[in-house]
């Protein structure tokens, strides 16, 4: 019989606390971008996200195994964060091409902030959904397969990393950074439909944001 693949091994669960802090920073960043772009009311998406984040913390904290409600809350939070970024992008495009009360440099900084927030949002999304979530990954992916396959998980790369290696939140930040710059997969390949759709959505949002940033930068260049 063939040996079980390396990614099937069980490991210690990754703490959600740093990710909760990262989500709070993302919400604050989205609030600043929405306020800068004069989205009215600018607090609506940050308020919804904060409520979902607080509910997620309550549902996950002190539990080794998340229930259905906890997973629904996490997925809902990710959905709201992505949707809020899409709305901010629409407002940014409107401000650049149809006029805005912001100075040109203000629009440029709002665009850069939106790009950074978008990067963080998709890092959270990949971390939350890959392989059924961090708890499922720690438990040997249970009944799931990896949605994003890293080089360390491939059979021909074994021996270059620990036998118990699992992707952490920081690995997903790197994946999101590369996807938002290269507009394509780099080291981690999307295998499932949702992973391909999510990475494609990040590519579209990222290239649209950067295109608007470049357009504004060229317009104000001296």
- 95-140: pLDDT as tens digits: 777 766 667 677 778 888 999 999 999 999 999 999 888 888 888 8
Q: What is the pLDDT of residues 48-71, one digit of tens each?
A: 999 999 999 888 876 667 778 888
Which helix (H) or strand (E) segment holds residue 127: the answer is helix 104-129
Q: Where do the structural domains in the chain lie, given as residue ranges? A: 14-220
Nearest to 180 by CA among 155, 200, 202: 202
Q: What is the pLDDT at residue 211? A: 83
Higher pLDDT, 174 or 110: 174
19 with 124: CB under 8 angstroms?
A: yes
DSSP 8-state symbol, 64: S
Q: Are 135 and 63 in contact (CB under 8 A)?
A: no
Range 162-186 average pLDDT? 85
Question: Is residue 1 predicted with pLDDT exceeding 50?
Answer: no
Can you give the pLDDT at residue 126?
94
């Amino acid at each position: 019989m063939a040996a079980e693949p390396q990614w099937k091994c069980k490991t210690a669960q990754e703490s959600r606390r740093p990710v909760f802090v990262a989500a709070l920073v993302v919400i604050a960043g989205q609030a600043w971008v929405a306020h800068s772009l004069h989205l009215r009311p600018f607090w609506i998406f940050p308020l919804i996200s904060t409520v979902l984040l607080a509910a997620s913390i309550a549902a996950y904290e002190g539990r080794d195994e998340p229930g259905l409600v906890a997973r629904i809350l996490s997925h809902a939070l990710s959905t709201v964060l992505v949707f809020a970024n899409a709305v901010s992008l629409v407002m940014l495009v409107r401000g650049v091409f149809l006029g805005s009360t912001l100075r040109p440099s203000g629009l440029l900084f709002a665009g850069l902030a939106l790009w950074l927030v978008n990067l963080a949002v998709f890092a959270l999304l990949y971390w939350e959904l890959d392989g059924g979530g961090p708890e499922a990954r720690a438990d040997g992916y249970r009944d799931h397969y990896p949605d994003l396959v890293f080089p360390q998980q491939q059979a021909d790369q074994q021996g270059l990393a620990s036998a118990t290696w699992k992707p952490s939140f920081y690995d997903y930040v790197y994946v999101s950074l590369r996807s938002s710059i290269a507009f394509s997969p780099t080291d981690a390949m999307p295998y499932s439909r949702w992973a391909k759709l999510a990475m494609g959505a990040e590519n579209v949002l990222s290239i649209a944001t950067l295109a608007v940033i470049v357009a504004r930068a060229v317009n104000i260049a001296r």
